[in-house]
Structure 1
């Protein structure tokens, strides 16, 4: 199966005076899964539809596999799309659904049947060809939609919110299957979702979008550990954002937080107002006052088996924390102190 790159060169999309996509330049490497992530209205679906040819660019160039497809219709682009709704034909068998695109392309019936059966085997549905879509679970229907797309041997596989119709447990299972199929076939895939956990789980690279442009891009690890803004820190995983002030930079950063001056082994870009990013699992809670710790009151405590979740009320704001289970956890109303490991927090400027 051919692996294609995807490249945008200052691509924009406008509807009259409304700008749906500001000048966008991206470069997706062959054989990788790149996720477009962001809240509703950020431009991620518009970007996907521009790759598919379902929308035309107002300006800029779109290249797939090095070929300029900017003005090429969807029919002639080397892509296949898996839609949110699956769009399976209810009167056709599973095998007929998978072979449908091949028949439209006038592939001989025998070859189309063989390729459809191979596609079903790739998604773990061998032996399901004679069933109707109504006889399958939601997860199985989604895999049929993936099989129908990959039998067309696209250079790029596009997935538009493919798991949104599934319950939480099934979403986890199906996303693992999609990722395994993508890696096994070494497909180039562009995946759209608003679910940050889903994006983290399946992606080689994530492009986070906000207000019709890129807010930050990188690996899941980069975005989680090195957010470039308070928006990214809050959007990628849970985060406590504490108002602080950077008073000195260099090999270390000195900050002022609630009247205390603290030294962090971080490098801030400049001095001034900032946010201290503290992930819930990085919060350390104790009953004793330690150097650099801050007072708080436990306002919520919940035992969840593998962890205890706490909400703390402090002068720095509300703090959400998770801790491993212990024999005597803190209770609502307890006065505590919280801190963090030296290398735990991050600073983002405001």
Structure 2
């Protein structure tokens, strides 16, 4: 399968203003060729503005944008080697699938026979060989999404942009299509910038996630880095489920922080935190519930929900309510049960208030 000539993306001090509103503060960003980077964050954080600046649909107020090492800061969208897959697939209902895929090529002046061949190859790349004569209405939502991807990649972009591409699909189909998009990106060696507000989706598809907040980068890293080592309470709460427990750090010895949760003493390594108030990040999967005679934090189960692969609990403790996720084959507890809450030192991450 032919690989696309992927390009890198670089933002050097890029700022975007709309009148008196700063939609994007000074942004420095590097995306390597062949990397899939997701821009993740709540509404209004600047992620879509960043995507539109790469696409050339917005113009930077300050700074420099490079694609494939070329300065494109002042180039129009049509002069940049990028393609975008939109939230609404924007397929023409009266055109066949093949005609939809070939549309951008023919508008660009390519002969119809050559465009048809490229469209056929594009459909083959996304696993839709033989679907060219169908109408979009004859395809499933996931197949329509793949047609939109095929239409984008036949233009041989250096960068593929995806703006909330799965938001119109139901939950089960979203999981399936995101896997297909990731496989296509890896097979073709595409550079892809993916925008979503869904943290699970971002973790599933990304080489690297850039979490944005208040028009700037809050933290960037691999899905594992962001989950295991959040740099703030916001990141801890936004990436996966987390219990945030206020604590007072008594002392710090060589990066080892000593503190109390409820009536239990803990210590964990975090050289960035000083003595004083902080928040302990407790992932629900890292908390174990034992019988009340065990040596742990006393608690009472106030809610229990069996969800097939796991059981979710809410446990009231002296440190406040804790959300706990246990494997389905673990010992089950019911509402009202007294339990011992056990938290390993290495399972605690401390972040500043």
Q: Deviations over 1:17-45 (max 9, x none)?
A: 11111111100000010000000110000
Q: 2:195 maps to which residue?
A: 192
Q: Identify unmatched segments of 5+ residues in structure 2.
A: none
TM-score w.r.t. the length of structure 2 is 0.96
Q: 2:276 maps to which residue?
A: 272
CA shift at 1:261, angstroms? 3.3
Structure 1 consecutive aligned stretches of length 4 or more whose deviation exceeds 4 Å: none
Q: Secondary structure at the match of 1:343?
A: helix
Aligned mate of 1:214, from 209, 214, 217: 217
CA shift at 1:113, angstroms? 0.7
- Is residue 2:20 matched to residue 1:21? no
CA shift at 1:259, angstroms? 5.0
Q: 2:291 maps to which residue?
A: 287
Q: Deviations over 1:45-72 (max 9, x none)?
A: 0000000000111111110001010000
- Is residue 2:129 matched to residue 1:95? no
Q: 2:53 maps to which residue?
A: 50
Aligned mate of 2:76, from 73, 93, 105: 73
Query: Within 5 A, what are the aligned runs for 1:1-350?
Result: 1-249=4-252, 250-291=254-295, 293-326=296-329, 329-350=332-353
Matched residues in 2 for 1:140 and 1:326: separation?
Answer: 37
Q: Secondary structure at the match of 1:320?
A: strand
Q: Secondary structure at the match of 2:345?
A: coil
Q: Secondary structure at the match of 1:217?
A: strand
Q: Identify unmatched segments of 5+ residues in structure 1.
A: none
1:252–1:265 Cα contact (<8 Å) kept: yes
Matched residues in 2 for 1:214 and 1:106: separation?
Answer: 40
CA shift at 1:104, angstroms? 1.1
Q: Deviations over 1:273-310 (max 9, x none)?
A: 1111111110111123544x211110111122222111
How many residue pairs match? The answer is 349
